[in-house]
Amino acid sequence: MEDVLINNIFEIAKDKNIEEKFCQLFIDYYEDMYKRGWIRGGCHCISSILHIILNEFGYYNILRLGVVEIRGVVFSHSWIEYNNMIFDIAVSETNDLEINISGVIFSDIDIKTLECGFVVYKDMIGKSPDKTGELFRDINVGQYFEECPEGRNVFWNYIIDFSKKYGKFINLSRLKEKYSNEKWTLIKNI
């Protein structure tokens, strides 16, 4: 992540009273996901892993499922909310290259432009605009992680390895027990 974007995150955090450790976890996680190539079209993966990591470090958040509208294009999407603010890494690299003009959303603010409201987050009333949204309405985190094309425990092990970098040691069985049955929370009119 470019230095200017990192600085923007810390400036936003200062204005919104978000801890420095939260920022560092968020930035390090983004950089890992970027290196792995998991961001493009990976909102459900990115958000569910971030949700668990932040919870494990005491930053209790909500894993959300809804729709996003950018330039008139509407699609199902996942993100997290912490202290009633949106944090969204994957919206910066959607599958539709023509709408990838947003930066990462940190505390409701686009870290590239320092503006908010360009990406519109909505509830998923009725049928999802795509099959992916319908799928994530019905499955839980454990089912999703178990069906990972890269292997059954890839996401779980990533969380464990990431946490070790911060001196936190997590047991795989406990992690699965705690989060496997968790589902995405549908938003209600933001």
pLDDT at 129: 77
What pLDDT was estimated at residue 188?
65
pLDDT at position 166 is 95
8 A C-beta contact, residue 66 and residue 137: no
In angstroms, the first-to-last Cα distance of the chain is 29
What pLDDT score was predicted for residue 189?
55
Domain residue ranges in the chain: 3-186
Q: What is the pLDDT along the chain (190 residues), one digit of tens a residue?
A: 899 999 999 999 999 999 999 999 999 999 999 999 888 888 999 999 999 999 999 999 999 999 998 888 888 899 999 999 999 999 988 877 777 767 899 999 999 999 988 888 988 777 777 888 888 888 999 999 998 777 789 999 999 999 999 999 999 999 999 999 999 998 765 4
